[in-house]
Structure 1
Amino acid sequence: MGRFVLSPSSRPTDCGRFAASLSIRSGHGSETHDRVFRFVPLFPTSEAASQYAMDQGLGYLHQPALPA
């Protein structure tokens, strides 16, 4: 997504549902920054968790001014 790389992921929880997280990476080489977000809702499938994370990331990138 332009200068950003979005990497959604999910992991199973003890209750059998899935937690979502997202990495947003920018920059190159020694100037690389990586933000990792973990989300509160749990999902019935790994795919649903990953899709939620991607949707949240796209929303974040469409903010008028991204935080530094």
Structure 2
Amino acid sequence: MNHDHTPLAVGKYLVSPLARQLDEGRYAASVSIRSGRGSATHDRVLRFSTLFDDAAAAVNYATEHALNWIRERAALSCA
């Protein structure tokens, strides 16, 4: 079962975290970081190997990693 959560707009990016329940009951986390529109859309998907006891923890982990990725890109563009 997948647990989608409300996408979060951060500047030009749309962050969409996802928690997926595995057979053993734990949760895997992933996140989509989308930018652009139409044929110029770019979508980076990050999948994490860490497993979580609940969906909320997986989503929080994925969201924080996405926000860190966005901050790193912003810092590089300012340098």
TM-score normalized with structure 2 length: 0.79
The aligned counterpart of 2:55 is 46
Cα distance in 1 between the residues matched to 2:43 and 2:49: 20
TM-score normalized with structure 1 length: 0.92
Cα deviation code 1:23-64 (max 9, x no counterpart): 000001110011111001000001110010000000111112
Gaps of 5+ in 2: 1-9
Cα distance in 2 between the residues matched to 1:65 and 1:57: 16
**Relative contact order higher in (CA < 8 Å, ≥ 6 apart):** 1
**Aligned 1:1-12 pairs, distance under 5 A:** 1-12=10-21
- The percentage of aligned residue pairs carrying the same residue is 47
Q: 2:45 aligns with which of 23, 36, 42?
A: 36
Query: How many residues are matched?
Result: 66
RMSD: 1.1
Gaps of 5+ in 1: none
Any runs of at least 4 consecutive aligned residues in structure 1 with deviations exceeding 6 A, and if so which? none
